[in-house]
Amino acid sequence: MMKYTYLGCSGHKVSRICFGCMTFGDRRGQFKWCIEEPEALPILKACYDAGINFFDTSNNYSSGVSEEILGNTIKKKHIFDSVNASLKRLDLEYIDLLQIHRFDPNTPVKEMMKVLHDIVESGKYTARLHGWTEFIPVQNLHYVTYRAEEKEIIPSLEKFRMGMIPYFKDSDRGEAMGATFMGQKMTATDEKINRKIEEIAKKRGVSMAIVAIAWSLSKHFMTAPIAVNFELSKEEIESIDNLYEPKNVLGIAV
């Protein structure tokens, strides 16, 4: 069992073994004996499994490639730790769906796909591009007054047989007209749609939120906003759809 100690007066609790990463690098550089990333990853995993949390690297080791290899491994460890922590809190042995809450522009897509695939291979997630596990759904903004995803994203989802789990503004929160959503003020068209939803809600004796969710469920590409035992008629759906005017893309931030 690994033993730990405090590093001087820093308060950092480190393993009594510090693993040196000088040999990690790129053989195309000066040192042909370097251990490249595919070979380094299982070594670093063995270190983590043994309880080592103390690593030595330098910008001088293979001109910084050693740091890149260690950094990539640490990112993967953090994702695995996050999944393990979720499983512990859920009191489960595996999960059926793992979603990336935000896209990280600083992490290469290939690297992100690889670590997600590794999670599947570990048996912690049940669910292939380049033989890797595919993305299953996306969770983007889609709402009765914001439908930009229908231009490119949703056709792509249908092409690759992926699901859509949207998040959206709740029509029943009681915002006053002119309120903002994701920094955008309600437009005149938004107000018309809002009034139409209110009109249908009063006529059918349900809340505006139920009407908005039922509208979302009426779209064939929608997987699961929230299940409600309520459906809109074709005429009601068209009366809402016909009021919509395209908007600029707002992105995926909540």
Same domain flag for 36 and 123:
yes
Query: Exposure string (b/e) for 81-116, b if CB count within 10 Å is 16 or more?
Result: eebeeeeeeeeeeeeeebeeeeeeeeeeeeebbebb
Instruction: Check if the beta carbon of residue 70 is closer than 8 Å to that of residue 43.
Output: no
Which neighbouring-strand residues pair with 4?
A: 15
Task: For residue 248, tell me if it sits in a domain.
Answer: no
Could you write out the DSSP letters of every residue in 46-115?
HHHHTT---EE--TTGGGGHHHHHHHHHHHHHHHHHHHHHHHHHHT-S-BS----SS--TTS-HHHHHHH
C-alpha to C-alpha distance for 247 and 199, rounded to whole angstroms: 24
Neighbours of 19 (CB within 10 A): 18
Both tokens assigned to 49: 């499994």
Same domain flag for 92 and 9:
yes
Same domain flag for 194 and 121:
no
Burial of 69 (0-12, 13-18, 19+ CB in 10 A): buried
Residue 151: helix, strand or coil by DSSP? Answer: coil
* Higher pLDDT among residues 86 and 226, named by residue: 86
- How much of the chain, in percent, has pLDDT values that exceed 70? 78
* Closest listed residue to residue 225, CA positions, set 126, 152, 136, 143: 143
Domain that holds residue 128: 4-135
Instruction: Check if the beta carbon of residue 225 is closer than 8 Å to that of residue 166.
Output: yes
The domain total for the chain is 2
Residue 224: helix, strand or coil by DSSP? Answer: coil
C-alpha to C-alpha distance for 58 and 61, rounded to whole angstroms: 5
Name the one residue in this structure whose structure tokens are 């299953």. Answer: 136
Both tokens assigned to 219: 């779209």
C-alpha to C-alpha distance for 252 and 142, rounded to whole angstroms: 10
Q: What is the pLDDT of residue 200?
A: 94
Same domain flag for 79 and 104:
yes
Q: What is the pLDDT of residue 84?
A: 79
C-alpha to C-alpha distance for 107 and 84, rounded to whole angstroms: 21
Residue 241: helix, strand or coil by DSSP? Answer: helix
* Higher pLDDT among residues 80 and 5, named by residue: 5
From 113, 135, 157, the end of a domain falls on: 135
From 135, 165, 198, the end of a domain falls on: 135
Q: What is the pLDDT of residue 254?
A: 38
Same domain flag for 10 and 131:
yes
Q: What is the Cα 173 distance to its own chain's centre?
A: 26
Q: pLDDT tens across 27-72, in order?
A: 887 778 889 988 998 898 888 888 888 888 888 888 888 888 888 8
- Mean pLDDT computed over 220-231: 65
Q: pLDDT tens across 104-161, in order?
A: 676 677 777 777 777 777 776 555 445 556 677 777 788 888 888 888 888 888 888 7
Q: pLDDT tens across 63-107, in order?
A: 888 888 888 877 776 667 777 777 788 787 877 667 676 666 766
Task: For residue 250, tell me if it sits in a domain.
Answer: no
Task: For residue 14, tell me if it sits in a domain.
Answer: yes
Same domain flag for 49 and 118:
yes
Q: What is the pLDDT of residue 229?
A: 59
- How high is the mean pLDDT of the chain? 77
Q: pLDDT tens across 160-204, in order?
A: 877 777 776 554 343 433 455 566 778 889 889 999 999 999 999
- Mean pLDDT computed over 5-14: 76
Q: What is the pLDDT of residue 239?
A: 92
